[in-house]
Structure formats: structure tokens, C-alpha cells
Structure 1
Amino acid sequence: MVKRFTVADFFCGAGGSSEGFRQAGFEIVFALDIWNPARETHKLNHPNCAHFGLDCYKDKDGDILKIETTDIDDVIPDVDVIVGSPPCVSFSSSNRAGKADKTHGIRLIKKYLQIISIKKHKPGSILKYWLLENVPNTMKQLQEEYTFRELELTNEILLSLGIQKRETDIALKIDISDENIYNAADYGIPQRRKRLVIGDYPRPDPTHKDKWISLSEVINAFDYDITDPNFGFSIDTEELTDHFYDTSIHEYDWLQARDRKQQARYYGRMAFPEETSVPSRTVMAMRTTSSREAMIFEGNNPGSYRAPTIREIATLMSFPITYLFQGKSEGIKYKLVGNAVCPKLAYAFAEEILKKEMIEVKQDFDPNSDKNKLEFDLTGWDSRKIPQNKHEKANFTEIVPNMKYKNFRVELDNSRPRYTDDSIVWSASIHHGTGKSNMKVARPSKENVLTMLYQFEDGDKIDSFIKANEEVFDKKIPCAEVFQSQYRLVEPNKDIFTPRDALGNAKILVDRFFPRNEYEDMSLSNMSNEKDGRIIKFSPRDILYKNIPIRIVAALYSVIHITELTVRL
């Protein structure tokens, strides 16, 4: 009988790594995670594994940091392969500006490396391979070498463990080059998901470099016959879990998502709805329907939109369609899936290990599961949520839509509620630059903007443009407080403009008087005859913008006019 390699899975989550190695014929003997839904899900799908904090060492609550260094060899079984995915939230590029506190994440990584070092260097060690999976930004937190002392393994501890090394010796060497960044789509996973995998393992070659699996293949897989697009096996409709339920999105939410994706202040445009002819974007751990990160599909009816089901998200991650997720809500299940390792990527590493060991690979999908063990199946559930009104001082900052070009944009905002307690102040601004750190801003008066507009050779057109602004906005823009209500209410007054309506109409006016195909390359001088030489002054670190596109100046005029109307008595 061929020996089955054994695996210990740390920070196992829903069991993506375990599932990939199990499919390749490995035996998963130990799993650890601090989050109970993750432990329950892993146990449901890998029942023969010992689950730290669940069915053994319950007093430790699944916390790797509660394993004393001198107890590691007793608590954790000897295995051929160790895999682990320390929580990556603080390292993720989606974390704002990368400013999250990384201390705890680094502690978890070092504890994981400490365990590997003990298992690797102990007398009679059977450990052959180990992997650490995380987001690519984790490279910045890793070292190429770790001494035993840096992993808190002193001479005294090494002696007690029977490890014939000094604390100043090198415990682990790590290759942290870009060669260790893998795109899941290259391995037959219908998702563009880049992950760092470091450790001691043979590198798998891409299997789908030029033949990515598209998002549409996943969506269409659940239309009629239920066939797993990742593994090819079929099941009866009644066997499928977490799929046949309503995920439609309220217009209030999808409009916010659309604008945040396509009219982002500092970032590029994103597809709305999702582009289905290519693999999906990276699946996130939080379900959202109104943010820039929201994953949004076309709905069943024209002009409607929906969120993916848990089963669709899990399939994008390459979990078999029979894999079960033990969670009491859709949000918990979404987090279980989004935080997981893609099983097919884990399988690629497992397969390569077997090839190196000259062991025949016999992939086992094991499409049988018992859905009756689920505490909560989303099938038939109505996930639709009625959006709630925003709070009274909710901040608004959006640009005139589809007019972010030549590094200029015009914004409408009410950001001053952040600094005052008793009033709402709407203001207009013009911005120039790329990226938040390089952005220059100005809040000029209407007189400044008119000075620039009347440089245009056709004064009558400018007069007509100004009059059109009055006709469009003067009866549709309320006072500041009501304008704020129009923004924050789910059901605003249809007889007056919301801030988003106002910006949309500003764009319509600019297109009407200064159509892009005729005026895109026309600019107005920002130079005056005054001593300082500038009409509109930008900050910080003002630059002499000699020319500003006429369409941008016109949009700025419209937004200033809107803000002036909000202060009428």
C-alpha cells in the first residue's frame, strides 16, 4: 500500500488548503483556527481530522498563541506536510493606505514559523514540506532568514526539545521573491486572485495560463443541470445548498456601488456590473452591495442587479459544489468563503509534491455530502434587505460623472459636517493630479470661474450656458438641510434634485453646450494680468496650471451654482 502523506492545516478557515490536499490523496490529521464557524465547517467536511479547540484541547479556543512552545511537540502531531494561512487583513492592499496595525499578524506568522522550525529540526523529524499562504504584501513583513532566537527558541528550549542547534543558528531560510506569487486563474480557478506562497515545496507550473475559466461559466453552471464547472461532476438540484435564494439589490444600494466603482475620486473605473467574459475579481471576505468592492451581477430583469449567492462565490473560489459551509447567516458564510485558500490552488501544490515523491496522483473529488448536517441552508431564504436612511450628517463627496480626464475633476461635497455641529455646508472644488498623495485642490469663487469662461470667443454661448444652469437648477435645488435629506433618504422627494441628480444634470449641461467631440482639447488660460499670475490657486504646493479644459471649467461653474442655491433663505 502506498503511504498517504499526512497534513496539518493551521489557520485552516473553511478548509480550502485541506480540501486541495485531500483531493490529491493526502490525509488531513490536524486543523487549527480561532474562529468557531471555521472549525465547524472544517469538521463538517473533514470529520476524521483532529480539530484543535473543538474536539481536542477545547480550553485553548483554537488560539495558536495559547500553545506553549515546550508543548508544541506534544500538542501537534508529526506530519509530512504543514500548511497555513495566517490572517491577512492587516497586510492586504485593500486595507486603507496599508496603515493597519500589523503587530498581531506578525506574531501569528512567527508562531507558525516557530512550530515549523521545531517540527523540522526535532530528532526523527518526518516533516518534508511546508507552505505559508498569504496576500503578496506579506513579503514586506517577512525575513529571508530567521534564527532560532528570532522565533523565541532559546538555547534552553532547544535543549529541552532535543534539538542540537544553537539559538544563533539559522532555523529557516525563505525565498520571498516575486516568483512565489501565484495567480489562481493560471491554475484553472475562475478568479483573478494573487497570493504569496512561501516555504519548502516544489513550484507547480501553471495549468491554465492561456485558457482562463470565465465568470460566465460559473454563473451558467447553475442554470439547468447542476454541473460543477471546476470538477465536472453533476448533482441533482435538490442536493445543492446555499444557492436558490433571492440576492436582488435595492436600487439605492446598486446606484451607490455603481458610482463608487465608476466615479471614484482617486482610483480607476471598475466594471459595473461584473465583466463575465473573464475570471472574476478577487473574492473579498465581506458581503457588500453598495461599496466599490461589491461584486454585482445582472439581475433576472432588465435594469436589475443582484449579488452572487454563497454557492457561486464558493465556486469562484474552486470549492466543489457539494462543499458545506456551517454558518448561521449569509454574512458568516461569505466570510468563510472569502477568507479561504482556493482548493484547486492547494491541489496544484499537493500534486507537485506527489510528483517529486514519484507517487501517482489519483484525484478524488468526493462529491458526496450530507446537507442535513447544515445548521442553516440559504436555499429558499430571502436575503434582500431594505436599505436604511443614512444618518443626518452623513458625508457626501462625488465627482461630476464621467468627467475625470486630463487629471482634472470637479467635486461636490458636504464634508464640513465633520468639523461643525450645527450646519450643513455644500461646496464645489476642482482637483488636479493622479493619486491621493499628489492631488491639488482649489475652491474658487463663481467670479473666478466666470473670468475664465469669458475668455471663450463666443460670449453668447457662455451667456446661454449660464441661463441654462438657472433654468435647470434654480427650482430643483433646495436649501442645504433639505439637500442633505435628499442624499440620506432612501426615498427622497422626486420633485427636487438629490446631490447625485444635480451632478448628473451638470454633466448633461456641459455635454449640451461643450460636447466632448468638439471641445475635449480646448482649454482656457488660468493666467491673469495680476501680479501673482493665477486666476484659480491650487493647494497644497500650488502649480501654475496655465490651461484648464473648458469642459472642466464649465462643470465647475455648474457645481458652484448648485452650492450657492443651497444657501438661499
Structure 2
Amino acid sequence: MTKIKKGIKNQSSLKVVDFFCGAGGVTCGFKNIGIEVLGGIDIDPQFEKTYEENNQAKFLNKDVSNLAPESLKDLLPIFTNQDDLVFVGCSPCQYYSNLKSDKTKSKKGRLLLDDFKEFVLYYKPGFVFIENVPGLETKKGSPLHKFKSALRREGYSFDQKILNAKYFGVPQNRRRFVLIASRLTKVQLPKQVRSKDNTVSVSDAIGDYKIFPAVKAGNEDKSKFIHSVSKLSPLNLERVQRTPKNGGSRKAWENDERLQLECYKNHDGHYDVYGRLHWNRPAPTLTTRFIYTSTGRYSHPEQDRALSLREGATLQSFPLNYNFYSPNKGAIATMIGNAVPPKLAEAIGNSLLQHWTEWQNLEQRQEQ
């Protein structure tokens, strides 16, 4: 075990570097509960305006794979062995997703956790937090096991679980692998209260028509509220119209030769495709393609259209005043769908704050 020299203590909060920050889901959640985020790092420059304007935190457009760990302290006010420092590493996760999709584009990002590990080993922050798809833990070739071994060697304690965001205030059934670690103290993830009473429904989130007015497919909202909706072809519009409201599926028109898709004529299953959301349940997991009726259960519970951009952001638990900047609807949907839900980040952040405060109090008592 490596002997760690103590860094700063007796601080009121924590300081965070958000690796692979995207549009800022983790940063948003942490800032909501008073944690100071020093900056976010991401390879994609399209996130910069969204990240900085919403979070008042510095955005570093850097490729972590090609960034020397020692250079980060020249870009952000951090140093090695800093007790009040948190490194967040929620790297892109499509390669380890259980979705049966083409992994070619995501293959090059499969080892980003290895790159993140080099920064952890160099700086040895007081705390570490990662979030990813459950497959990160189980899929062959995952870098997670080497990552955990490295944490153990450096004296970190960690806790890991599959958490469902729906039990932490996110109106969405979203299962994720979560790990928190600390070299200061034993850590524990927040407990899931598995109860329907502890979930937020689609109706609770987006059912108020005064906030989310009824619109038609193809609606273009040029305001920052972006209640914009993808267009539908006449045939797809008819499919949605024929799908029963409040949770209906394409099963309602599977025997209609004109409406049934060729790929499903001899296939039973995947009834979420072209399905409507249920008002009284959390939404299914939002992907980057939630704006299309043909990619999952993303049709509005009542209206004949897919979810709007703002509805998707709300189901991800972003505040209504969180603004997304891009002229491209698909790019904004990607920002939203790939984000860590801020409410889930809040729960993790509160756990880290609790451990930090307990450790500080213990240190103070020992010094007296």
C-alpha cells in the first residue's frame, strides 16, 4: 500500500474535476447541492457553450487519451494528494451497453477508463466516482477490473452497485453501474428505496400542459425551452395514431399488412418500438434517439408524436432552465441521452459530502 501524504483538510466542500463531462449532467447535479466543480473535460467541442453557460465552470476541450496527467495541474487549480478533490470519470459507455447495436464507432472509447486511471494514479484525489452501463462490470475485456485493482494497490476503499436512477428522483427506469472510492475513509453508496412511492412518473415530470403545451410532430421551438419535436412521415404518423394512448404498443396494428414493419412480420417481441409512454410510470431508459418513435417507447402518452427535446431533458432530470446549444436537433438529443441524470449525481454527491464531513470531524477529534 502506498503511503499518502495528507493534503488540504477542514474545507467546507469538495472540489471536482468532471472528466468526459459532456453537457454537464454530473456537474449540474453536484452544483445543485453546493459542491464546487473546477471544470469539465471533453473531447467534443460542441459541449462547451452548454457546459459553461449552465454551470459557470471551465470547459477544457481535451482528449484525455492524449493529455499528459501532469499537465492538468497547469490547466486547473489542483495538486497531487489533495484530500478534498474528487475525480469523476463517467466515460462514454456504448461499447459495453447491452443494446444490440453496431459497436464499431464506440470501440475506440472502450478503454477510456484506463486513461482516466492514469490521472487517478498520478493525482491520488481524496475521492473518485464513476458511472457507466451495467455491462462495464460483466463484459469481456472491460478495463474495470484493472481499475479496481489499481485502486486497491493505492489504498482506496470503494463501494459499487447497480443503481436504478428511478429511485433517486429521476423519472426514468435507468440502471447504471456506479462506483465511489476514497483513500481517506470507507465509503458507501446511497441505498435504494425500492418502492413505487419513491418514484417520479412521466405524468409528474411532463404532464403539465401549461409547461409542456400540446404540439404536433415536426414542431420547431426556436426558444431556449426547445419544445421541438421530430417530423413523422404520413405512414409513421398513422402508426402512432393507431397505437393506444397511455402505454399502448405496436401490437395494436401488428396484423395490418400496410402498417406492420417487414422486420417484425415473423418476429414476436420488441414491443417498445413505436410504443407510447405510460403516464403513471417512470419512462424507459432514454437513449440518444429518444426523439424518434421508431427507436423505442418514446411516443408521447397522448399526443401523436415523439418526445420533444425539453421533455427528454426533463425525464433526464435536468432543470427546466438548463439550456442546450446546437442548431442540430440530433446533437442536442445526444447531449441529453448520454448525460448522467443530475438527480442521480445529486444522490452520489450527497454521499461523498457525508463521507467527507465525517472524515473531517474524525480528523479534528484526533488532533484535539
Normalising by the smaller structure, the TM-score range is: 0.7 to 0.9
Equivalences for residues 160-559 of structure 1 within 5 A:
170-171=153-154, 180-200=161-181, 201-206=187-192, 209-211=195-197, 212-221=199-208, 223-224=209-210, 241-243=225-227, 245=228, 247=230, 249-254=232-237, 255=239, 258=250, 259=260, 265=267, 267-270=269-272, 272-287=275-290, 289=292, 291-293=294-296, 295-298=298-301, 300=303, 305-358=304-357
C-alpha contact 1:12 1:85 (8 A) present in aligned 2: yes
- For 1:265 and 1:172, how far apart are their aligned partners in 2? 52
How far does residue 181 in structure 1 lie from its aligned partner after superposition?
0.8
Which one-letter code corresponds to 2:120 in the other structure? I
Cα shift at 1:249: 3.1
Q: Are the equivalent residues in 1 in contact too, given 2:113–2:147 (CA < 8 A)?
A: no
Give the C-alpha shift of residue 104 in structure 1: 2.2
> For the Cα contact (< 8 Å) 1:183–1:195, is it kept in 2?
yes
SS across alignment from 1:306: coil
Q: Give the aligned length.
A: 307
Is the counterpart of residue 68 in structure 1 residue 49 in structure 2?
Answer: no
Q: Look up the match of 2:257.
A: none
With CA pairs under 8 Å and 6+ residues apart, which has the higher RCO, 1 or 2?
2
Q: What amino acid maps onto 1:270 in structure 2? A: D
Q: CA offsets, 1:187-243, max 9 Å, x none?
A: 11100001111230531123563321111222313x1267xxxxxxxxxxx996112
CA offsets 1:304-350 (integer angstroms, 9 cap, x no match) = x1011111100100001110111112111111100100000000011
Normalization by structure 1: what TM-score? 0.49
Quick one: structure 1 residues 353 and 287, their matched pair in 2 at CA, closer, same or farther if it must change by over 3 Å? closer
1:255-280 per-residue CA deviation (whole Å, 9 max, x = no partner) reads: 39935698682634337222222100
Counterpart of 1:112? Answer: 116
Residues 91 and 135, structure 1, Cα contact 8 Å, conserved in 2: yes
Distance in structure 2 (CA, Å) of the matches to 1:36 and 1:279: 32
Question: Which structure 2 residues correspond to residues 150-169 of structure 1 after superposition, within 5 A?
Answer: none
The one-letter code matched in structure 1 to 2:14 is: F
Q: 1:278 to 1:340 in 2, by over 3 A?
A: same
TM-score if structure 2 supplies the norm length? 0.73
How large is the Cα RMSD of the aligned pairs? Answer: 3.4
Question: What's the offset of the Cα at 1:10?
Answer: 0.6
Report the residue type matching 1:267 in the other structure: G
Secondary structure of the structure 2 residue equivalent to 1:52: strand
Are the counterparts in 2 of residues 30 and 77 from structure 1 also a CA contact under 8 Å? no
Structure 1 equivalent of residue 3 of structure 2? none
Q: Which amino acid aligns with 1:112?
A: F
Q: Offset at 1:295?
A: 1.0
- Give unpaired runs (5+ residues) of structure 2: 1-9, 79-83, 182-186, 213-221, 241-248, 251-259, 359-368
Q: CA deviation at 1:170?
A: 2.7
SS at match of 2:16: strand
Answer yes or no: is the 8 Å Cα contact 2:172–2:282 preserved in 1: yes
User: Structure 2: which amino acid aligns with 1:71?
Assistant: S
**Aligned 8 A contact 1:188 1:207 in 2:** no
Residue in structure 2 matched with residue 130 of structure 1 by the alignment:
128
Change (3 A) 1:316 1:101: closer
Q: CA deviation at 1:63?
A: 1.1
Structure 1's consecutive aligned runs of 4 or more residues displaced over 4 angstroms after TM superposition are 98-103, 145-148, 171-176, 245-248, 259-264
**Higher CA-based Rg:** 1
Please give the secondary structure, in 2, of the residue aligned with 1:275.
coil
What is the deviation of 1:30? 1.5
The 8 Å contact of residues 18 and 89 in structure 2, kept in 1 or not, is answered as: yes
Deviates more, 1:197-206 or 1:138-147: 138-147
Over residues 98-129 of structure 1, what are the superposed CA-to-partner deviations in whole Å (9 max), with x where a residue is unaligned? 86476522331101111011111xxxxxx221
Letter in 2 for 1:349: I
- Decide which of 14, 21, 37 is 1:12's aligned counterpart: 21
Identity over aligned pairs, percent: 25
Residue correspondence of structure 1 range 69-108 to structure 2 within 5 A: 69-78=69-78, 80-96=85-101, 100=104, 103-108=107-112
For 1:358 and 1:147, the matched residues in 2 are separated by 25
The whole-number CA distance in structure 2 between the counterparts of 1:106 and 1:71 is: 23
Deviation (angstroms), 1:75: 3.9
